[in-house]
């Protein structure tokens, strides 16, 4: 019997009380309320973790990550499921997704080298990027990466010139299908008014295909399409799929080449707050495979091998960020709660206006809730982690605040703004916490500064 993602994550832990179910709905599925207002993730106390490792701290539920990998493989049989490393990558995550049978999608030589030196097979890696440097391409070729996704016509000759004599590099072309999807303008990548890919509408994609087919050292194996992020409905994927299959048919007719692969990218939405919509991946898998079969039959094409690239939907809901309250300030009608992290470890609210559901951890408050704004410690007015959220009216310095759905695009986009070191990451698994990434120290930061 095959279990759903939720069932896979909850088999070893008793269910929370009914009144906690909704408030914990966006947390890792192993999350349980504990004594004195504590919360456990995979049996690991968040209070004890904060005391042991300090704050800010990121907790990643290993079983949740692995269960989400298996859920994708179940929803997309006979599909190459590839984890988008840009969401969050460390050596442990690379090992987890590899052991669960996923490939890897990387965007830089740094991500690629980390994965390969961890033992990830390079032939299972796809190399992306809208502006790959010559060094990026050289590393990809040296490590014999499985696929390189061409994102501009400039890359074609540059890459072909670097391919060792007597070998061929498998490539795909990233195409823009003209489909608008995504929760924010900054993450919509399926239309012609952004930096990624080559347009089908203006002929850029077709021109790139023709040029690649002229290169003896490049082997064009398929088309790639990524239309955006935080997409909660299936319909945009079906629209993009039909347009890309149409291009596959035109390539067959014009060049007498039938490309064997099609990559539909990722961008699958997760819920950041209770009640928000997440993409139903079971429905997506069923409808994508049906549409692919139907569209290819209509175009008299063999069904190509399908690839998808989930990132956020694998690690996002598996992570929890922990902060200590440093100050509480009332200014005008607003209550500001300042914590010891902020935009240096989570720039997403400032970039995309994302909203979270923080929670007080470590004590039970009977105070009436008040509307507060959770802010960071940085000298930036936009350093806001969560605006207009309910928190206990007696919130005070020293309190512990947890922010769920923190496993993607937090630390991968982190900085050392104000010379504040990046937080550590721990894995929680079956009651045991282990350090994955240590805290970045002032010595680490100073060690790069050699100007005197």
Task: Kindly list the averaged pLDDT for each block of 10 residues, start to end, along the chain of length 452.
Answer: 43 50 87 95 98 98 98 97 98 98 97 97 96 95 97 94 94 88 50 74 93 96 92 92 95 97 95 94 96 97 97 98 96 91 94 91 93 96 94 96 97 95 97 98 93 79
76-310 fold? TIM Barrel (3.20.20)
pTM, full prediction: 0.92
Distance of CA 45 to the CA centre of its chain: 25
Q: Give the dihedral of Cα atoms 8, 78, 270, 66; nearest 10 deg.
A: 40
Helix or strand holding residue 147 (H, E): strand 147-150
Domain ranges (residues) in the chain: 5-61+317-447, 76-310
* Cα–Cα distances in angstroms (integers) from residue 240 to residues 223, 235, 237, 314, in the given order: 12, 9, 5, 22
Can you state the percent helix, strand and coil of the chain, rounding each to 5? 35, 25, 40
Residue 446: CB partners within 8 Å, gap ≥ 6? none
| Catalytic annotation, residues | 379
Phi, psi dihedrals of residue 344, rounded to the nearest 5°? -75, -25
Structure tokens, 367: 């105070």
**What is the dihedral sign for C-alpha 384, 386, 390, 392?**
negative
Q: Where are the beta strands (DSSP E) in 393-431?
A: 400-404, 425-429
Residues in the chain: 452
Q: What is the largest CA-CA distance in the chain?
A: 73
Topology of domain 5-61+317-447, per CATH?
Lyase, Ornithine Decarboxylase; Chain A, domain 1 (2.40.37)
Sign of CA dihedral 10, 12, 18, 23: negative
What pLDDT sits at residue 228?
87
Tokens 């299972």: give the residue: 124
Q: What is the crossing angle of helices 91-99 and 62-75, to 10°?
A: 40
400, 322 Cβ separation under 8 angstroms: yes
pLDDT of residue 307: 98
Cα–Cα distances in Å, from 285 out to 41, 71, 190?
29, 11, 20
Give the Cα separation of 346 and 349 in Å (integer): 7
């Amino acid at each position: 019997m095959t279990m759903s993602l939720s069932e896979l994550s909850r088999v070893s832990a008793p269910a929370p009380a009914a009144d906690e179910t909704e408030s914990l709905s966006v947390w890792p599925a192993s999350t349980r309320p504990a004594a004195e207002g504590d919360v456990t993730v995979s049996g690991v106390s968040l209070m004890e973790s904060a005391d042991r490792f300090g704050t800010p701290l990121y907790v990643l539920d290993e079983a949740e990550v692995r269960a989400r990998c298996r859920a994708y493989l179940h929803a997309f049989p006979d599909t190459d499921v590839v984890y988008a490393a840009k969401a969050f990558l460390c050596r442990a995550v690379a090992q987890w997704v590899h052991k669960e049978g996923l490939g890897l999608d990387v965007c830089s030589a740094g991500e690629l080298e980390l994965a390969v030196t961890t033992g990830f097979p390079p032939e299972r890696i796809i190399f992306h990027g809208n502006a790959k440097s010559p060094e990026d391409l050289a590393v990809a070729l040296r490590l014999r990466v499985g696929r390189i996704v061409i994102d501009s016509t400039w890359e074609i000759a540059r890459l072909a010139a670097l391919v060792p004599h007597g070998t061929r590099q498998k490539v795909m072309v990233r195409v823009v299908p003209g489909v608008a999807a995504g929760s924010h303008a900054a993450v919509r990548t399926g239309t012609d008014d952004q930096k990624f890919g080559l347009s089908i509408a203006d002929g850029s994609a077709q021109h790139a295909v023709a040029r690649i087919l002229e290169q003896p050292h490049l082997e064009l194996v398929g088309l790639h399409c990524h239309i955006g992020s935080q997409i909660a409905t299936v319909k945009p994927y079906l629209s993009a799929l039909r347009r890309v299959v149409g291009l596959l048919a035109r390539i067959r007719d014009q060049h007498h080449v039938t490309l064997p692969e099609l990559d539909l990218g990722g961008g699958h939405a997760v819920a950041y707050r209770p009640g928000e919509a997440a993409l139903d991946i079971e429905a997506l898998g069923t409808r994508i495979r049906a549409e692919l079969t139907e569209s290819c039959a209509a175009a008299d094409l063999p069904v190509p091998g399908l690839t998808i690239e989930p990132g956020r939907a694998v690690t996002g809901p598996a992570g929890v960020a922990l902060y200590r309250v440093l100050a509480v300030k009332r200014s005008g009608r607003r209550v500001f709660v300042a914590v010891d992290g902020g935009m240096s470890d989570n720039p997403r609210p400032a970039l995309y206006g994302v909203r979270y559901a923080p929670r007080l951890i470590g004590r039970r408050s009977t105070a009436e809730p008040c509307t507060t704004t959770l802010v960071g410690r940085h000298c930036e007015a936009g350093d806001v982690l969560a605006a207009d959220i309910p928190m206990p009216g007696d919130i005070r310095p020293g309190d512990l605040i947890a922010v769920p759905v923190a496993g993607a695009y937090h630390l991968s986009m982190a900085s050392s703004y104000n010379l504040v070191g990046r937080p550590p990451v721990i894995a929680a698994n079956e009651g045991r916490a282990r350090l994955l990434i240590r805290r970045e120290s002032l010595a680490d930061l100073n060690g790069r500064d050699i100007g005197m």
